[in-house]
Structure 1
Amino acid sequence: MAGGRYRLGIDVGGTFTDFVLADMESSRIAFHKEPSAPSDPSRAVEAGVEVLIAREKIAPGAIELVVHGTTLALNAIIQQKGARVALVVSRGNRDVMEIARARMPNSYDFTAGREAPLIPRESVFEIGARGLSDGSVMTPADPDEIAAVAAKIAREGHEAVAVMLLNSYRDPMLEAEVAGHLADALPGIPVTPSASIWPEMREYERALVTCMNSYVHPLMESYFERLQKRFAGQGINAPIYITANNGGTVSLETARARPVDTVLSGPASGVLAATRTAPDAPNLITFDMGGTSTDISITRGGQLEFTNSTLIGDYPLMLPVVNVSAIGAGGGSIVWSDAQGLLKVGPESAGADPGPVCYGRGGTRPTITDCYLTLGYLDPLRFNDGRLALDVESAAEKLAQTGTAAGQETAVATASAALMVATARMATELRKLMAEKGLDPRGFVLAAFGGAGPTHANLLAEEARLEGVLVPQLPGTFCALGAILADVRREYVRQARITTDRSGAHWEKITSLLAEIEAEALEWVAAEGDLIGSHELRLTCDMRYPGQAFELPIAVPDYALDRLTPTDLMDHFNAEHERLYGFVETDSAVQVTTLRLSVVGRVEQIGLPKSESGDLPKPRTVRRMYYQDWRDVPVYDRSAIGSGATIDGPAIVEQPDTTVVILPGWRAVSDTLGNLLIRRMGDAP
């Protein structure tokens, strides 16, 4: 077997587990897709690694780093299959999970039910310990009371404990003391204080994110232990890192202590990969179209966009995550007609089992994938690298039946109409999201990945009048690639609520808080492993004019504490306020409500393989495709296309993990990294 240096990226999905193996010396990249094993995802990881090692003829010891992403924690929360968690709160707050934000699920339907609390009321325990809003202790911890609560927690069979005391974000010492007493009384049961996860105000959100961490802690601990054993059994002793919500990675030990940081890591890895593989850092709309839904994220100048509030099901997650929004249907979304005879697409999905009708696994309701097949976008004999033959006749039959109720005369008409409906919905949601951010979609390129993303991307770009489409070289395993492209990263927060002005009023309070979180961040990154080289600190301040109800997140460019001034901070805030709202209050002070610091540990980057220049090869075949009319379309193999090659639409480009559709009036050009950049012919170079 060959030696060398290799890095292995893994992304565990519901249907497939994706692998990318990067040769650090030759920049060669190999990929593999292994059917997932929902009962024990580590089995699919082990099987896929065995295939890659054997196929690439490498020694297991040559793998120097493993970066792994999984949806295990996310699925556990959504399906409510996590551990039995006890929540310990200050007296008077037992109903924190039921009251939540006291909002109705539907303003127009008083009978609409709300999602059941993640932690039921009988698992919430009150104690007298309580802090005040300035961080001082109102009621100290009572060891005897805590011992009695611990005994009840153990007696009732709880598997993890979360602690959330009032105002602990101001000073975590009282909460940490309570957690210490509980941990001593409950050996073997993980105890998590809320301030150690995310010390930000808002009791419900802080309690919920801590409970989520505890909810998935035993599950993830068990999974990580099995994962380590399987790798060790294969002779792989490389450090294991886990992809995180923020587009970075963390060591296995950090992920064990803070598994909630990995809940939304899959989509984040794909967005990061898009920024690293796109040439010249263009403005991108990442377009990840899978089986159930289509997710987008917006990047400008190669920088990820973050949000500090997102949802997991109906539960708010108060952590910084890469801002990903669902905008429409996926390849498995079902096509149907409603009682009024209108053709609809989704939100229900056929999933992986039984899947679309054309899979031949018992599916009876047509999907977007059946539409692609009926219109000639897909080759029924080469789908998924030829491992799954598609049933054209059954797909057309079910589409025709569905279309009859919606006034469509043929399967082709139904399929074409369904794609128009899905595309129009995506374009509408995309425009709304862009308008909310004050952005014009016409200046953006759609970076398409996922199994169905490259197939549908040109349709959306045409409808939304986007600048172009970028299809990376490995779109079907893009999140696994993003895993090994990511740096180590973690987020820190401190509540400030400090008003300052250009004269520097109260500025020392802000710098004191920044010095405190800088020290904590630098201590953490120094302990994350030898693979980290240099590091960088990035600061974002939530700011507003005094009296405003909402804050703006203001990123501070080239942050350094010794160079930061109140004037700089106010200038950045005023510029963003004017961009969004068209005016500024130049004479007003500003209030800094929250300080958010990111520490990024730089990891040696893998070399991306270069494509050799070459002319466009002859088409492998010609296929009939329907777009506004039937036409004969050349079909090319992606692997035969060299850099600089130009493909005029209509055309189809096939590769093992996806199919790229190029519409009439558009032109694709292959670059040196193997990307296909598709633009309107009038705009193409």
Structure 2
Amino acid sequence: MPADPTAAAPGPRARVGIDVGGTFTDFVLAVPGERSAPLHHKEPSTPGDPARAVADGLAAVLDRAGLRPTDLAAVTHGTTIGLNAIIQRRGARIALVVTEGYRDILEIGRSRMPSSFDLHAAKEEPLVPRDRIVEIPARLGPDGRPVRVPDDRELARVAEELRATDAEAAAVLVLHGHTDPAFEAEVTRRLAALVPELPLTSSAAIWPEVREFERALVTCLNVYIQPLMRRYFDRLEALLDGLGVTAPVYIAASNGGSLSLRSAAERPIETVLSGPAAGVTAATRLGRAAGISRLVTFDMGGTSSDIAVAVDGEPEFATHTTIGGLPLILPVVAVNAIGAGGGSVVRADTYGALKVGPSSAGADPGPVAYGRGGTRPTVTDCYLHTGVIDPATFLGGRMTLDAPAAARALGLVGDELGFATDDPGAAADRAADGALRVATAGMAVELQKTLAGRGLDPAEFTLVPFGGAGPTHAAVLAEEVGIREIVVPHAAATFCALGAVGADLRRDFARSLRRDLDDTTVAALRDILAGLEERARTWLAEQGPETAPPVLTVAADMSYTGQAYELRVELSGEPTLAALTEAFHQEHERLYGFRDATAAVRLGTARLAISAAGPDLATVPAEATADGPPPAPVGHRTVLLAGDRVTADVHRRDALRTGHTLAGPAVIEQDDTTVLVPPDWSATVDPLGNLRLRHS
């Protein structure tokens, strides 16, 4: 990167994307419009004070770029702090205020067993215990008319009970509150005046969608992580101010966009899946630049592997997902966990079967080969033992791995599985090879289910792997599911940070109606959409200076009356009864092959999303076009693949140029990851600097 990439134009222009992980915090610095390559940096994470690694890494990346803190135009930060707090149940002590008669709403939930086949499976512990749930005499009817309005005496009693819970924050849920958010907001305001020391949040202000249990839960989750997130954001702001950073700070959101630090502090629940979503955003941008319209992203980290599907250059979205065993009804990029990560533990179960995960060695102590006290072998130990990764060049040589220790640990697993032979290394070989096959098979089944459920053919898709282990495992997984092309980004291990750099500003809004479709409902829909649009434009104006022109996307959840599930229907133009009805019939027919023109149609939830495009990160060509054959391999090594030993050429990624093509078996090493090219595959550097792997 040039010493001063902003020299061509005055004023702050550089932008930084940040992704905080358990082991490393990743940084990408880019200058919109510049055709120089983004600068990538990895800083060791500081779990005890995550903001410290952000500040230290930002100072380091600015120093490497020859920039001052005032040269930054924006900083966009993805974080898993909220997600980890939910998973580990280490959020704030919170309370819930709920309509009388619904104190058990979190205990009862949807009355579903965790597993229909396991009578001993325990339910997930409720986020708020029953002794911190306070009932209030406030209630709306399904039509939005007040049924109970609390008087001052009743509110005083609720306030006293709230104080007795010793909570740090509380959520307020009124039955049918989605029908009239203003009613629930007024109840919350009156109650807050009596307990000014306790932050209260109205459920309808967070997400006014039907289904009381899910709305209660999303509001509780928001207040559960809000104190922790606000402390983190305050700490982050203080450290960045200390560096002299004057640029606005944005937080990556679960919907693939971003929002201001203030919005994130008010609604931290919208950031819990920001890391995976940012990676999908970067992958779809790469796909558009490379002319790939149908792709599957494959993010393989230390604990798990996630996939997302993009068709026509846009990622798929979901309005229902699960985090930490709890349902979340906010719109998010549809990312599905499909299997093990590099730190997933390899073991023999009580029945003598080989298992991979779900437990993980994490970053500390990590895989056995890290030499930090780990005793249980992991997928990374398997890569090392089978020869896919080199103990001397891991992370560009910054970390030397202990191959003999990994072999001993895998040998013990092999002995438990009955693989012991006269050859001391055979048990370890079979355990490592078998573990990689088991991990691949599990991933393949989940990926095939995901694609089949959408009626999609794997052969029509390109796999885009990222994360530290994604490029290492990509070809093996692709071969298993029938994907014949892979595009490996140049800096795959910092890909989520790259997605954060160019993220759009985006927020979703919703309001449930739950009415049969007629002229009155259509009129109500128009009014609701007008209100949502006004809120959306106000929100965008508050996000910061110089936003791009807004783009509004409108949809509605609809069903035939009596159906249990609704379909998302994209809307365009002025809503009319005929247009809405026909749009739903067409979507139902597309998915299920028929329409029922005689059935009544029901309108469930109106949805509106507003976005403002992020910076235009110019496509960066490779350093030079090849003027001859690829360089000679820097070495050769034996790799164990699917039970067979093959001799693979070893190449350095930074020695390859546009047009260079390598035939497998080969291993391509770069500082942040290792790319495996099996037999019958080839790898070519494309004009954008990506590695394109193709099956012959």
Shorter-chain TM-score range? over 0.9
Residues 449, 475 of structure 1: 8 Å contact kept: yes
Q: Distance in 2 between matches of 1:565 and 1:300?
A: 29
1:613 aligns with 2:628: no
Partner SS state of residue 548, structure 2: strand
Q: Distance in 1 between matches of 2:515 and 2:189?
A: 32
Q: Distance in 1 between matches of 2:31 and 2:436?
A: 40
1:23 aligns with 2:26: no
Q: Distance in 1 between matches of 2:354 and 2:115?
A: 26
From 2, 6, 15, the equivalent of 1:7 is 15
TM-score, normalisation: structure 2: 0.94
**Partner deviation per Cα, 1:520-549 (whole Å, 9 max, x = no partner):** 212211222113111111122212222322
1:490 aligns with 2:507: yes
**Partner deviation per Cα, 1:388-442 (whole Å, 9 max, x = no partner):** 1011111112212211232435122221121111111111111112222222222
1:446 aligns with 2:463: yes
Residues 140, 174 of structure 1: 8 Å contact kept: no
Residues 3, 62 of structure 1: 8 Å contact kept: no
2:129 corresponds to which residue? 120
1:623 aligns with 2:637: yes
1:417 corresponds to which residue? 434
Residues 498, 510 of structure 1: 8 Å contact kept: no
Q: Distance in 1 between matches of 2:581 and 2:401?
A: 60
Residues 3, 59 of structure 1: 8 Å contact kept: no
**Partner deviation per Cα, 1:207-250 (whole Å, 9 max, x = no partner):** 11101111111111111111011001001010010011100001
**Partner deviation per Cα, 1:491-526 (whole Å, 9 max, x = no partner):** 11111234347xx68432332222221222122112
**What's the offset of the Cα at 1:659?**
0.4
1:321 corresponds to which residue? 332
**What's the offset of the Cα at 1:267?**
0.7
TM-score, normalisation: structure 1: 0.95
1:81 aligns with 2:90: yes
The amino acid across from 2:435 in the alignment is: A
From 311, 335, 338, the equivalent of 1:300 is 311
Q: Distance in 1 between matches of 2:52 and 2:520?
A: 59
The amino acid across from 1:412 in the alignment is: D
Deviates more, 1:154-163 or 1:651-660: 154-163
Partner SS state of residue 600, structure 1: strand
The amino acid across from 1:63 in the alignment is: L
1:376 corresponds to which residue? 387
From 469, 473, 493, the equivalent of 2:490 is 473
From 337, 346, 370, the equivalent of 2:348 is 337
From 523, 527, 531, the equivalent of 2:546 is 531
**Partner deviation per Cα, 1:361-410 (whole Å, 9 max, x = no partner):** 11111111111111111011111121110111111122122112324351
The amino acid across from 2:48 in the alignment is: S
Structure 1 residue runs of 5 or longer lacking an equivalent are none
* Match runs of 1:344-363 below 5 Å: 344-363=355-374
**What's the offset of the Cα at 1:136?**
1.3
Partner SS state of residue 397, structure 1: helix
Q: Distance in 1 between matches of 2:517 and 2:137?
A: 36
Q: Distance in 2 between matches of 1:549 and 1:151?
A: 40
Partner SS state of residue 43, structure 1: helix
2:114 corresponds to which residue? 105
Q: From the superposition, tell whether residues 551 and 215 of structure 1 become closer, same or farther in structure 2 (CA, over 3 Å).
A: same
2:677 corresponds to which residue? 662
1:218 aligns with 2:227: yes
Q: Distance in 2 between matches of 1:96 and 1:297?
A: 32
* Number of residue pairs matched by the alignment: 675
Q: Distance in 1 between matches of 2:137 and 2:353?
A: 59
What is the CA RMSD across the aligned residues, in angstroms? Answer: 1.8
**What's the offset of the Cα at 1:626?**
2.0
**What's the offset of the Cα at 1:2?**
4.2
**Partner deviation per Cα, 1:610-665 (whole Å, 9 max, x = no partner):** 21322423322222222243232222222222222212111111111100001111
Q: From the superposition, tell whether residues 201 and 10 of structure 1 become closer, same or farther in structure 2 (CA, over 3 Å).
A: same
The amino acid across from 2:537 in the alignment is: L
Q: Distance in 2 between matches of 1:147 and 1:322?
A: 42
Partner SS state of residue 75, structure 1: helix
Residues 5, 65 of structure 2: 8 Å contact kept: no
Q: Distance in 2 between matches of 1:155 and 1:355?
A: 43
The amino acid across from 1:19 in the alignment is: F
**What's the offset of the Cα at 1:307?**
1.0
2:194 corresponds to which residue? 185
Q: Distance in 1 between matches of 2:408 and 2:31?
A: 47
Structure 2 residue runs of 5 or longer lacking an equivalent are 7-12
Q: Distance in 2 between matches of 1:544 and 1:72?
A: 37
**What's the offset of the Cα at 1:284?**
1.1
* Match runs of 1:222-237 below 5 Å: 222-237=231-246
1:426 aligns with 2:438: no
Q: Distance in 2 between matches of 1:205 and 1:253?
A: 25
From 539, 543, 556, the equivalent of 1:541 is 556
Deviates more, 1:177-186 or 1:457-466: 177-186
Q: Distance in 1 between matches of 2:20 and 2:60?
A: 16
2:9 corresponds to which residue? none
Partner SS state of residue 404, structure 1: helix
**What's the offset of the Cα at 1:670?**
1.6
2:565 corresponds to which residue? 550
Q: Distance in 2 between matches of 1:466 and 1:281?
A: 14
Residues 493, 596 of structure 1: 8 Å contact kept: yes
Residues 309, 319 of structure 1: 8 Å contact kept: yes
Q: Distance in 2 between matches of 1:425 and 1:605?
A: 38
2:454 corresponds to which residue? 437
Partner SS state of residue 62, structure 2: helix
Partner SS state of residue 189, structure 1: coil
The amino acid across from 1:336 in the alignment is: R
The amino acid across from 1:435 in the alignment is: A
Q: Distance in 2 between matches of 1:282 and 1:156?
A: 53
Partner SS state of residue 302, structure 2: coil
Q: Distance in 2 between matches of 1:319 and 1:381?
A: 45
* Match runs of 1:207-286 below 5 Å: 207-278=216-287, 279-286=290-297
The amino acid across from 2:545 in the alignment is: D
Partner SS state of residue 607, structure 1: coil
Deviates more, 1:297-306 or 1:412-421: 412-421
Residues 179, 513 of structure 2: 8 Å contact kept: no
1:310 corresponds to which residue? 321
Residues 35, 44 of structure 1: 8 Å contact kept: yes
Q: Distance in 1 between matches of 2:578 and 2:474?
A: 44
Moved over 4 A (4+): 564-568, 586-589
Q: Distance in 2 between matches of 1:79 and 1:566?
A: 48
Q: From the superposition, tell whether residues 673 and 189 of structure 1 become closer, same or farther in structure 2 (CA, over 3 Å).
A: farther
From 189, 192, 197, the equivalent of 2:206 is 197
Residues 139, 175 of structure 2: 8 Å contact kept: yes
**What's the offset of the Cα at 1:603?**
2.7
**Partner deviation per Cα, 1:316-355 (whole Å, 9 max, x = no partner):** 1111111111111111111112233322211111111111
Residues 147, 181 of structure 1: 8 Å contact kept: no
Partner SS state of residue 603, structure 1: coil
The amino acid across from 1:349 in the alignment is: S
From 164, 168, 171, the equivalent of 2:180 is 171
**Partner deviation per Cα, 1:126-179 (whole Å, 9 max, x = no partner):** 111211111111122323332343244335421112111111100012211121
From 524, 527, 530, the equivalent of 1:512 is 527
Residues 276, 485 of structure 1: 8 Å contact kept: no
The amino acid across from 1:440 in the alignment is: D
Residues 531, 604 of structure 1: 8 Å contact kept: no
The amino acid across from 2:605 in the alignment is: T
Partner SS state of residue 28, structure 2: strand
Q: Distance in 1 between matches of 2:505 and 2:320?
A: 22
